[in-house]
């Protein structure tokens, strides 16, 4: 499951819910800005354990990374999509927000990151942010990839999102990082290799 391609062409079933979700924090004060303030950030246990290791090592470098958003149900994603449609229009929503069922967040394997220092919450992650620079250099060692990198918009179908990371396991994350490719390109490469193998058989 951790290497599953989830995008506009490969949606999850609307009833899919990960079995081993773990709450990452209590979201006191709703600083995660959820549409439903009672929600608490959660991810699968494997992702949580990997993130805790990442978080601990980042703190040694003076960066306190937190999970800003983790698992989102199909219904919650519908609420988010509808609210963006009302606020900024349908065209904007289709360009910047995943349609329900196509969000990686539903898998429990995707996280949006933020920084929390001395009680000050900051989710304005940019290329110039220290947290972004740290993640780019280190995230793959913990199994995470920058899911929607700059320059790959036509491949991923999404604009550059410096805050959105996906857990794919250490081995694959390092492989993708070293090749400089996205999960879409990895799956396409594998499918072409498989097709060629069948043609030669």
- Tell me whether residue 161 is one of the annotated catalytic residues: yes
Model pLDDT, residue 27? 80
The one catalytic residue in 161, 178, 184, 199 is 161
Mean pLDDT for the stretch of residues 3-17: 96
Model pLDDT, residue 35? 78
Q: Are 173 and 139 in contact (CB under 8 A)?
A: yes
Correct CATH for 21-200 of 1.10.357.10, 2.60.40.3470, 3.40.630.10, 3.30.1380.10: 3.30.1380.10
When mean pLDDT is compared across 14-23, 34-43, 47-56, 86-95, the lowest value belongs to 34-43
Model pLDDT, residue 66? 94
**Rounded Cα distance, 27 and 35, in Å:** 13
Question: Which of helix, strand or coil describes residue 59?
Answer: helix
Find, among 80, 109, 101, 105, the residue nearest to 13 by Cα. 101
Model pLDDT, residue 171? 98
Mean pLDDT for the stretch of residues 9-29: 91
**Rounded Cα distance, 53 and 16, in Å:** 27
Q: Give the strand pairing for 110-117 and 120-122.
A: antiparallel
Please say whether the dihedral angle defined by the alpha carbons of residues 69, 57, 169 and 18, taken in this order, is positive or negative. negative
Alpha helices by DSSP H, listed for the chain, are: 45-60, 74-88, 90-96, 130-138, 153-156, 170-179, 183-200
200 has pLDDT over 80: no
For residue 114, give every residue at least 6 positions away whose Cβ sits within 8 Å of its Cβ, in sequence order, or none: 32, 65, 66, 67, 68, 121, 122, 123, 125, 163
Please say whether the dihedral angle defined by the alpha carbons of residues 38, 77, 158 and 191, taken in this order, is positive or negative. positive
Note the pLDDT tens digit of each residue in 57-76: 999 999 999 999 999 999 99
- Given pLDDT bands bounded at 50, 70 and 90, which one contains residue 193? low
131 has pLDDT over 80: yes
Instruction: At 80, list the tokens.
Output: 């988010």
Model pLDDT, residue 33? 80
């Amino acid at each position: 499951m951790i290497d599953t391609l989830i995008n506009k062409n490969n949606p999850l079933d609307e009833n899919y819910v990960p079995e081993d979700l773990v709450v990452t924090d209590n979201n006191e004060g709703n600083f995660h800005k959820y549409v439903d303030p009672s929600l608490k950030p959660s991810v699968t246990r494997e992702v949580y354990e990997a993130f805790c290791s990442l978080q601990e090592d980042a703190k040694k470098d003076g960066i306190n990374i937190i999970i800003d958003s983790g698992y989102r149900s199909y219904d919650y994603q519908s609420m988010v999509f509808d609210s963006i449609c009302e606020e900024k229009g349908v065209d904007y929503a289709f360009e910047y927000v995943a349609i329900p069922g196509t969000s990686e967040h539903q898998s429990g394997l995707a996280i949006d990151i933020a920084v929390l220092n001395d009680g000050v919450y900051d989710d304005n992650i940019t290329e110039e942010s220290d947290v972004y620079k740290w993640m780019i250099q280190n995230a793959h060692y913990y199994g995470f990839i920058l899911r929607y990198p700059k320059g790959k918009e036509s491949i991923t179908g999404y604009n550059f999102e410096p805050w959105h990371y996906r857990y794919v396991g250490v081995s694959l994350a390092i492989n993708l990082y070293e090749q400089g490719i996205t999960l879409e390109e990895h799956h396409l490469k594998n499918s072409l290799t498989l097709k060629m193998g069948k043609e030669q058989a």
